[in-house]
């Protein structure tokens, strides 16, 4: 069954073929290098759309014995291939544009030129519709191939505007170099965008961690009840899927069932951060008899806080804890409350037999 990503790719392919043929025909009739360059660019888009269609079909295949993590990276590989196509296209257009600039030739066939101006207006509407359809598609954030396709459409819009302006200006001022300058601008825009796309694709293929994801997961996992520490979180991208390895520390006195329940809660917390995450949780036991005072001081240090006057009462195995926290005197009350509340939360996670915590905030130095 064809899914949303495949439908978008097929639609891009059909539109690309039609627009390329129309632009190339009118470009030859008018002699407009800018229009021919745009047609070549669209032809590259057709090849890219075919690559995208194949990529999203393959990436949707389930994991198998030889691809345990699925086939998602085919999308990143296809995006890199599309960037190479764009680079070659830009170099070819730039070379011909410079040659035309050095040896200008006037545009011919004024009837075809008028048709070309009308065509570019239609092209702008079609490309804008295609781009907006991708922008508002729920699958765009999870598909590198479709994001590459969106880049193509955005470039199409910019290059179409340049071609339209070049045709209109040449019609008004009759300067042959206007067309060549338009083609050079298209080549520069395509080259710059293709280099950015190539870098993004290489980052994923080299397993570069998604920006900001590990810090988000550290914070979300640390807040899961029963998690004492989060020593390590590693993440990598593969197509629409993100794979995460997380190591957590839980109190050593917990049963296997209780530890498993905490690990399941960690998986749910990771899913709340990003539903495309596939997380593997490794559980390690903490120290059975942590000194509560040492725990409070250590956790306070991680938040750059200082504690004193720690008082602990053990009532039938339940701990009642109180302490004073020194905070910078210039802090607003809201910030001080937030930081101390975070300290209390971490202490409760590290010492699950805590019954109550009473903290008193004091300005440092008093």
| pLDDT less than 50: residues of the chain | 1-2, 288-289
pLDDT of residue 1: 38
Q: Which of 171, 205, 239 is the last residue of a domain?
A: 205
pLDDT of residue 209: 63
pLDDT of residue 288: 47
Residue 120 sits in the same domain as residue 182: yes
Domain around 313: 292-363
Give the sheet arrangement for strand 229-238, strand by strand: 229-238, 241-250, 277-285
pLDDT of residue 338: 92
Structural domain count of the chain: 3
Residue 19 sits in the same domain as residue 137: yes
Kindly report the CATH number assigned to the domain that includes residue 198: 1.20.1510.10
Q: Is the pTM value of this prediction over 0.75?
A: no
Q: Which residues contact 123 (CB under 8 A, 6 or more apart)?
A: 19, 23, 156, 160
Neighbours of 132 (CB within 10 A): 12
12: left (phi over 0), alpha (psi -120 to 50) or beta: alpha
User: How large is the angle between the packed helices 33-59 and 4-30, nearest 10 degrees?
Assistant: 160
9: left (phi over 0), alpha (psi -120 to 50) or beta: alpha
- Is the Cβ–Cβ distance between 44 and 111 less than 8 Å? no
Residue 49 sits in the same domain as residue 130: yes
Q: For residues 174 and 172, what is the distance between their CA atoms, to the nearest angstrom?
A: 6
Residue 321 sits in the same domain as residue 267: no
- Burial profile 136-166: b = 16 or more Cβ within 10 angstroms, e = fewer: ebebbebbbbbbbbbbbbbbbbebbbbbbeb
Q: For residues 123 and 144, what is the distance between their CA atoms, to the nearest angstrom?
A: 25
38: left (phi over 0), alpha (psi -120 to 50) or beta: alpha
pLDDT of residue 176: 67
pLDDT of residue 289: 47
pLDDT of residue 290: 59
Residue 189 sits in the same domain as residue 163: yes
Residue 162 sits in the same domain as residue 36: yes
Q: Which of 205, 230, 249 is the last residue of a domain?
A: 205
Q: For residues 221 and 267, what is the distance between their CA atoms, to the nearest angstrom?
A: 9
- Is the Cβ–Cβ distance between 159 and 38 less than 8 Å? yes
Residue 316 sits in the same domain as residue 238: no
């Amino acid at each position: 069954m064809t899914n949303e990503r495949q439908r978008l790719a097929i639609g891009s392919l059909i539109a690309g073929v039609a627009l390329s043929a129309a632009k190339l025909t009118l470009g030859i009739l008018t002699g407009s290098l800018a229009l021919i360059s745009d047609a070549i660019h669209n032809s590259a888009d057709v090849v890219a759309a075919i690559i995208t269609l194949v990529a999203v079909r393959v990436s949707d295949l389930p994991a198998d014995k030889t691809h345990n993590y699925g086939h998602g990276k085919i999308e990143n590989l296809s995006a890199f291939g599309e960037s190479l196509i764009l680079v070659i296209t830009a170099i070819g257009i730039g070379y011909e544009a410079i040659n035309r600039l050095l040896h200008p030739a006037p545009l011919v066939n004024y009837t075809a030129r008028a048709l070309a101006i009308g065509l570019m207006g239609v092209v702008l509407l079609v490309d804008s519709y295609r781009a907006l359809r991708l922008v508002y598609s729920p699958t765009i954030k999870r598909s590198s191939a479709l994001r590459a396709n969106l880049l193509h459409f955005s470039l199409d819009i910019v290059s179409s505007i340049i071609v339209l302006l070049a045709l209109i200006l040449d019609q008004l001022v009759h300067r042959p170099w206007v067309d060549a300058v338009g083609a050079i601008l298209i080549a520069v825009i395509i080259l710059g965008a293709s280099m950015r796309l190539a870098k993004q694709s290489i980052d994923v293929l080299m397993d570069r961690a998604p920006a900001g994801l590990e810090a988000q997961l550290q914070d979300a996992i640390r807040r899961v009840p029963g998690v004492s520490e989060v020593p390590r979180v590693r993440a990598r991208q593969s197509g629409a899927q993100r794979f995460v390895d997380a190591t957590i520390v839980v109190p050593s006195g917990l049963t296997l069932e209780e530890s498993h329940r905490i690990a399941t809660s960690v998986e749910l917390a990771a899913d709340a951060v990003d539903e495309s995450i596939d997380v593997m949780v490794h559980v390690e036991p903490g120290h059975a008899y942590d000194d509560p005072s040492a725990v409070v001081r250590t956790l306070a240090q991680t938040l750059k806080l200082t504690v004193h006057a720690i008082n602990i009462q053990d009532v039938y195995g339940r701990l009642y804890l109180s302490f004073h926290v020194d905070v910078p005197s210039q802090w607003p009350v809201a910030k001080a409350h937030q930081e101390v509340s975070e300290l209390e939360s971490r202490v409760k996670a590290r010492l699950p037999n805590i019954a109550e915590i009473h903290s008193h905030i004091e300005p440092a130095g008093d």
